[in-house]
Each structure stands twice: as C-alpha cells, then as structure tokens.
DNA sequence: GTATATGCAAAGCATTTGCATTAAA
DNA sequence: TTTAATGCAAATGCTTTGCATATAC
C-alpha cells in the first residue's frame, strides 16, 4: 500500500474505500489527470465511487498540499501529483497535452519591490505554451493527453 | 472616436453599434475587465446590447490580437487591453485583484532544447500570486477588483 | 454513538450555440 | 441584395452543493 495513504491516515484523515482508491490512483500514475480520468480509474477498482466524491477528495488533497490543481486556460483542471519537485508546465495549445519541465530561469521567482504594488508575494506560476510533436504534423483534432 | 474603432474598420470589421460600444469601453478603461463588467459598461451607452454579443465581440477581438484573454485560476476570464507592451500579471489569491507588472526575468522565455519534449515553443505565461495590500490587513471578503 | 463521508440529483457559473430576426455593406 | 451580426433562450462543460443515508472512528 502506498505511502500517500499512510501519510494521510496519520494526519487523521478519515479513511474510506473511496478516498483510498483515489489516493492509490494518484500515487500509481504520475501524470496530470483530470477529475473525470481519476474517476474512471478509481471505478476500475471500486465501481460505486461517485464523481462528486472524487471532486471532494481531490479538493481536500489539494488543500493538504498532496496534489496540485493546474488550470489550463482551456478545459478541465488537471491534478498534478508531482508536488515535491519544483517544476513548471509546458502545454500544447492545440491538444492540451501537458508535460513537466524543470526550473530554468528560477530568477523569475523574484519580482523587484518596485513591481510589487504592495502585494505580499507568494508564488509564481510559469506556463510554457507550444505545439506538441504530434500536433506539429497532424491535421485532425486529437483527444487531450495526460 | 477611438483609434481602436478606426483600426478595426480599416481591417474590414463590420461595424455595428454593439461592437463600437464594446470597443469604446475597452479603449476607455485600461484595466482587466470581465465579460460581465464590459457588458455592464456597454449597457450604460447602449442598453440593448446583449451579453452574448459582448462575448462574441471579445472573442473576435482576442483573435485579432486587440485584447488578451487572461484566465485566472479562479473566476471568470479577464480581458486585458494592454496588448502592445509586454508584461506579466500579479494576482491577489484572495480577492483576485490583478495588476500588470513589467518584465523581469525575460530569460524565462527561453526553455532549453533539452526541456522542450519536441514541442514548438510559442509563448510563456508568467503569473505572480500574492496577497494585495488590502487583503493583507482586511478580515472580511471583498469583491474582485479590476 | 457521533461526527463525518457518501451518492444522487439538482443547482451553479461562465461561456457557447442554434435559430429566427435585423441590419451593415 | 447579400452576407453577416444580433438577441434570446436553451445547451454546454466543469464543478459544487443540499440532503438523506451510510459508515469510520
């Protein structure tokens, strides 16, 4: 059984079959799944699990910092299980395929005081946009990829 | 009358009262308005204009590059009229107040080949997240600000 | 036993769309 | 006169919520 499930239980998270199965799906696949995809995979193991519960669980995991909700400008949110390693995203503008890229230009993290407008700076989100290899050649539309 | 309206007409854009009024609202206010806000302001001048038309018009302007659709992770899209000057955004995570900040760490625009995963790079979006001055002190929730 | 999670179905929000009507060119 | 834009209301896609039931602790 996964470390994620352990960690959550020790934090006093009430463990149910539904929550366990969601945690296991996330732990198994390191990807960028949508709520629907998590739901589909969770159902393979536990057919009764509802989409509402998947959403609730993903939101809780996000609050606990165990998962990162990535909102591409198009389409549904993706849930990123890679929370330990700092990274950024590269998204295909055509098919929404998403990959992790690793910090280059970390210096962007600094915004000079003169540019802070009184804000307390918490984070920077950097999203690279492009066309993935398949979309550079293909004509027809494709389904999004994790 | 604004230069925006002129420019659009010379590009062969069919000019209607609705479109003109939307263009004028955008030109008057340099801000980051939502579609609803644009609609409200447009109605002050032309009460019959519909929300659907505002959406259609904003989308067309975005395709023409006259406006930039900014999707904050929370809430509706903001339409940014500042398209000439390269800049980035700083968003309050609490009230969604949004300000422009000016390119620092432009070098982020480069993603080394080794990190490109076969993608053709088109753009980078950099969004700084923080707490605005008001939210740093205030307790109660506030309405979003342009 | 009690607090909390679940499933369902309905509501929500932002946005798009179909279609008959109207108006710009 | 032709081609395209409008308004409306309904449909869409994603996500949240209310509430009665079920269940982990």
pLDDT tens-digit profile of A67-108? 999 987 788 999 999 888 888 899 988 888 899 998 765 554
Which residue, of B47, B70, B93, is where some domain finishes? B70
Which residue, of A70, A93, A114, is where some domain finishes? A70
Query: Is B91 in the same domain as B53?
Result: no
Average pLDDT over residues B6-19: 94
Specify the pLDDT at position B72. Answer: 79
Yes or no: say if B100 and A119 are a contact pair by the CB < 8 Å rule.
no
Residues of B in contact with A130 (CB under 8 A): 116, 119-123
Average pLDDT over residues A134-139: 79
Query: Is A62 in the same domain as A91?
Result: no
Establish if A30 belongs to a structural domain.
Answer: yes
Alpha-carbon gap: B51 to the closest alpha carbon of chain A (Å): 21
Which residue, of A70, A93, A121, is where some domain finishes? A70
Range of the domain at B21: 3-70
Beta-sheet strand order (sheet of A98-101) = A98-101, A88-92, A120-131, B120-131, B88-92, B98-101
Specify the pLDDT at position B19. Answer: 97
Q: Does A114 touch chain B (CB under 8 A)?
A: no
Query: Is A64 in the same domain as A111?
Result: no
Average pLDDT over residues B69-93: 89
Residues with Cβ within 8 Å of residue A128, at least 6 apart in sequence: A88, A89, A90, A91, A101, B111, B119, B121, B123, B124, B125
Residue A30 clears pLDDT 90, i.e. is over it: no
Residue B106 clears pLDDT 80, i.e. is over it: no
Nucleotide nearest to B16 (CA to C1'): C24
pLDDT tens-digit profile of B30-77? 789 999 999 999 999 999 999 999 999 999 999 999 999 998 778 899
Query: Is A56 in the same domain as A99?
Result: no
Query: Is A54 in the same domain as A93?
Result: no
Selection from A127, A121, A112, A107 nearest residue B107 by Cα: A107
With cut-offs at 50, 70 and 90, classify the pLDDT of residue B112: confident
Average pLDDT over residues B90-103: 86
A114, HSE (Cβ side, Cα atoms, 13 Å)? 3
Establish if A144 belongs to a structural domain.
Answer: no
Task: Suggest the residue from B124, B131, B134, B146 to mutate for an interface test with chain A (most A CBs closer than 10 A).
Answer: B124
Place of tokens 């740093």: B136
Q: What does the alpha-carbon distance between residue B67 and residue B27 come to, in Å, rounded to a whole number? A: 10
φ, ψ of residue A145 in degrees (nearest 5): -120, 145
Domain count of the fold of chain B: 2
E strand or H helix at B78: strand B78-80
pLDDT tens-digit profile of A33-63? 999 999 999 999 999 999 999 999 999 999 9
Query: Is A66 in the same domain as A104?
Result: no
* Average per-residue pLDDT for chain A: 86
Q: What does the alpha-carbon distance between residue B51 and residue B36 come to, in Å, rounded to a whole number? A: 7
Residue B8 clears pLDDT 70, i.e. is over it: yes
Q: Does A68 touch chain B (CB under 8 A)?
A: no
Residue B103 clears pLDDT 60, i.e. is over it: yes
């Amino acid at each position: 059984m996964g470390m994620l499930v352990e960690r959550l239980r020790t934090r006093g998270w009430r463990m149910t079959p539904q929550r366990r199965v969601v945690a296991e799906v996330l732990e198994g696949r390191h990807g960028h799944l949508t709520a629907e995809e998590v739901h589909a995979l969770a159902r393979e193991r536990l057919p009764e699990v509802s989409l509402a519960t998947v959403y609730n669980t993903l939101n809780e995991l996000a609050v606990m910092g165990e998962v990162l909700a990535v909102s591409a400008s198009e389409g549904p949110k993706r849930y990123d299980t890679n929370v330990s390693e700092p990274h950024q995203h590269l998204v295909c503008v055509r098919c929404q395929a998403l990959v992790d890229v690793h910090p280059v230009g970390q210096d962007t993290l600094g915004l000079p005081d003169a540019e802070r407008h009184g804000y307390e700076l918490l984070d920077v989100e950097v999203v690279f946009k492009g066309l993935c290899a398949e979309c550079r050649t293909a004509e027809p539309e494709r389904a999004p990829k994790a």
